[in-house]
């Protein structure tokens, strides 16, 4: 089923692509293949927007303990709330929480410093400003480009909040993020790996996880 038929509530300035459904479908399959049937999933939709990826992932799993949604732009919260009411039942809604925060603020908060997620999913802003032209709408630009952050900080955030037995799945274009991944792994390669799991069109699905010792 396409996003058009699912009728997610989304802002006019930015419509999420079918890549979001691809990510959710692959995430749920990997969870079912790699975790015991009743293993409690503690999920995070990073750079969540209106929640499409995380909500669609939840709908395909039966063992969600909690699912958090982290988004820089607070204006998405209203759309997120409407989507949870439409697509999730009350029990599922009790397990979700929307955080309007940037990486640094979330990471430095004592309230969240001990949280570890065993599933992190993300369709992040992966375009580079030096390779692509910014548009007139600043809100849309924030969905496509990291502004006060960068892709390396995105990877560092995943490294900090991913459980040792967990998996992180994120989308990106090789030409936009391959240097950042390489640089990051040069410092973390003994502990962590990031592999290209699948590709669809120009976009690739990457998987990050800690290495067994």
* Per-residue confidence (pLDDT) for residue 187, from 0 to 100: 83
Residue indicated by tokens 């997620």: 117
Residue 139's SS3 state is: helix
Q: Are 110 and 104 in contact (CB under 8 A)?
A: no
The pLDDT, as a whole number, for residue 137 is: 55
User: Which residue from 194, 173, 158 is spatially nearest to 128, judged by alpha carbons?
Assistant: 173
Q: Among 23-32, 68-77, 107-116, 178-187, which is the least confidently predicted range? A: 107-116
Closest by CA position to 180, among listed 210, 155, 145, 147: 155
Is the pLDDT reported for residue 75 higher than 80? yes
- The domain segmentation of the chain, as residue ranges, is 3-210
- Asked whether the predicted pLDDT for residue 31 surpasses 80, the reply is yes
**Alpha-carbon gap, residue 165 to 137, rounded angstroms:** 40
Query: Bigger pLDDT: 10 or 48?
Result: 48
> Are 22 and 206 spatial neighbours (Cβ–Cβ below 8 Å)?
no
State how far Cα 195 lies from the chain centre: 16
According to the model, what pLDDT value does residue 132 have?
54
Task: Give yes or no for residue 57 having a pLDDT over 90.
Answer: yes
pTM for the model stands at 0.88
Select, from the ranges 4-8, 102-106, 164-168, the one with the highest average predicted confidence (pLDDT).
164-168
Answer whether residue 93 shows pLDDT above 50. Answer: yes
Residue 155 pLDDT greater than 90, yes or no: yes
What percent of the chain lies above the pLDDT cut of 90? Answer: 46
The mean per-residue pLDDT over the stretch 112-139 comes to 72
Local confidence band at 3 (pLDDT 50, 70, 90 cut-offs): low
Sort 132 into a burial class: Cβ within 10 Å, 0-12 / 13-18 / 19+: exposed
162-172 and 117-122 as β-strands: parallel, antiparallel, unpaired? Answer: parallel
**All residues at 6 or more sequence positions from 17 whose CB lies less than 8 Å from its CB, including other chains:** 3
- pLDDT for 170: 93
Q: pLDDT tens-digit profile of 127-142?
A: 555 555 665 556 565 5
Residue 144: its pLDDT value, please? 55
Residue percentage of the chain with pLDDT more than 70: 84
* DSSP state, residue 145: B
pLDDT at 213: 47
- Contact (Cβ atoms closer than 8 angstroms) between residue 98 and residue 75: no
Greatest C-alpha distance within the chain: 49
Q: Please say whether the beta carbons of 28 and 57 come within 8 A.
A: yes
Q: Could you tell me the CATH superfamily of domain 3-210?
A: Vaccinia Virus protein VP39 (3.40.50.150)
Buried-exposed string 15-51: b where 16+ CB fall within 10 A, e elsewhere: ebeebbbbbbebbbebbeeebeeeeebbbbbbbbbbb
Instruction: Please tell me what DSSP assigns to residue 211.
Output: P
| pLDDT score of 5 | 59
CB neighbourhood size of 73 (10 A)? 17
């Amino acid at each position: 089923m396409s996003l058009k038929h699912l009728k997610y509530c989304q802002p006019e300035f930015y419509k999420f692509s079918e890549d979001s459904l691809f990510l959710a479908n692959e995430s749920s399959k990997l969870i079912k293949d790699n975790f015991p049937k009743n293993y409690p999933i503690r999920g995070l939709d990073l750079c969540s927007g209106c929640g499409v990826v995380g909500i669609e992932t939840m709908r395909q799993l039966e063992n969600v303990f909690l699912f958090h949604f982290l988004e820089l732009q607070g204006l998405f919260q209203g759309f997120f709330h409407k989507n949870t009411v439409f697509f999730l039942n009350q029990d599922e809604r009790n397990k979700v929480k929307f955080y309007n925060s940037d990486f640094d603020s979330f990471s430095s908060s004592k309230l969240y410093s001990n949280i570890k997620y065993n599933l992190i999913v993300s369709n992040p802003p992966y375009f580079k400003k030096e390779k692509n032209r910014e548009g007139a709408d600043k809100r849309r630009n924030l969905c496509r480009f990291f502004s006060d952050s960068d892709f390396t900080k995105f990877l560092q955030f995943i490294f900090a909040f991913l459980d040792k037995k967990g998996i992180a799945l994120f989308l990106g274009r090789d030409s936009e993020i391959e240097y950042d991944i390489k640089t990051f792994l040069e410092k973390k390669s003994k502990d962590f790996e990031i592999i290209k799991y699948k590709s669809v069109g120009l976009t690739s699905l990457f998987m990050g996880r800690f290495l067994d010792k």
